[in-house]
Amino acid sequence: MDDLTALDATAVAALVASGQVTPTELLDQALAAVDRLNPALNAVILVQEAAARRAIAEGLPRGPFRGVPYLIKDLGCEAQDFPSHNGSRLFANTHYTYDSEIFLRMRATGVVTFGRTTSPEGGIGAATEAAVYGGPTRNPWNLDHTSGGSSGGSGAAVAAGIVAFAHGSDGGGSVRIPASSCGLFGFKPTRARLPDGPASGEGWAGMSIDGFLTKSVRDTATMLDACSGPDLGAPYVAPPLHKSHADAISRPPRRLRVALCDTTLTGEPIHPEVAAAVRATGALLESMGHHVEPGRPERANVPMMMRAWTDIVAVGTALSIRHGLKGRPLTDDLVEGVGRGALAHAESLSPLRYLEAVGEIHHFARQMARYFDQGPDILLTATLAEPPARVGRFAHDTTDYVDYRIGPNGIFAYSPFCAIFNASGQPAASLPLAMSSDGLPIGIHLAAPYGHDEELIALCAELELAQPWGARRPKQPPYQ
């Protein structure tokens, strides 16, 4: 069988549909890739080969990705056939008695799920280096650098060619950060576009949502169409789509007003190569007929939002840890430093602070809505303030959770754009449009008004056509 690692999932599925390759052959190839590549990357864990072969034998759903190998993130996405560590020694080898709605919808596309991908403990890091996996997850473009987080294992697995696409989730950039780090496409839909049940009604006060790490816009569009919509008992729903994501990318969007910000949203400088990539994308959009001018949401209270995000996530992390401990003492061998720090910070807060922080997030969302209502159709920034960080820079050994998140050298300084749109609920995407001088991917970030998912993904598809990225891949082992 020819090497299929350059193909996106849509192209691989077409080969299955035409009989040129079988699901079993594809699974064999994916498992061989895990054996060959994973020792260097540490991206794929808890492989369930028997469950995957059983799914093929019993007959795969005739969905758009029938027979394509697939991996799910080791955080949430509960599935009976796929035990989980949830990125933590505290939850190691958790087995589920039910399937989450997002898993059922992904399975209905015909994918052959065969394992999970690594995630940082609690999903609260921009790097994936959880102790439960015995070491960091590394970037296929350069093993000295992180693949991002919290869907870092998925990013590394797709970039390396182990699978054509993979599941992720995004509560503060956790799909878009690894997409930027690994040279992939990552799209965060409007709040509540995808289901959270039945385990929860919302993640992190509605800021977290599932997503996908893909090589192409069309793969994401198809998977979004397959998975969108509320599940039974959802506390709220996203605005209805006017058409499908797949239909939206079949034609260019209208000519749009684009605000270009080559600094942070509060005006601080970013890495010069990253800033140059933002400006180059602005020039590309102008050449395509879009109206581009400098701009940023200056009246949006970003520091307030960042502190509220930090407190909300601390409370969510503390709740999870307390449930996992089941009365046991909190010890270093069960929970890493950042998690212990998050628990301590949460317990130091006023009992009123959680609802106050949620209110601040809602207020921030209204500030962002007013900005887009009175200004641009699209906000163009970088995804990260610099190229992918070196392994170890965002390790979870510190117990100073607040400094880790919003300190001068913390996560928000490194990733000052992504969480903005988790808080506002707006759709946002990272596109692999640039490379650094030393060969590391640079993601370009686009965001649209709340509910305008179709227009955003159509613009992403137009950019992909204008500046294709599919042929750009990391060198095969030995990695750089």
Catalytic residues: 73, 150, 174
Q: What residue ranges in 66-178 does DSSP mark as E strands?
A: 69-73, 112-117, 138-139, 142-146, 165-170
Cis peptide before 198 (omega within 30 of 0): yes
The first and second tokens of residue 171, run together, are 């509560």
> Are the C-beta atoms of 160 and 37 separated by less than 8 Å?
yes
Q: What strands lie across the sheet with 428-435, from one edge to the other?
A: 165-170, 209-214, 185-188, 428-435, 441-447, 378-382, 257-260, 291-294
State which amino acid sits at residue 94.
T
The first and second tokens of residue 389, run together, are 């960080």
The torsion angles phi and psi of 204, rounded to 5 degrees, stand at 50, 55
Q: What is the secondary structure of 262-315 as a DSSP string?
A: SB-TTS-B--HHHHHHHHHHHHHHHHTT-EEEE---TTS-HHHHHHHHHHHHHH
> Are the C-beta atoms of 138 and 104 separated by less than 8 Å?
no
Q: What is the secondary structure of 143-154 as a DSSP string?
A: EEEE--SSSHHH
CA distance 42 to 44: 6
CA distance 316 to 147: 25
Strand duo 44-45 + 291-294: pairing? unpaired
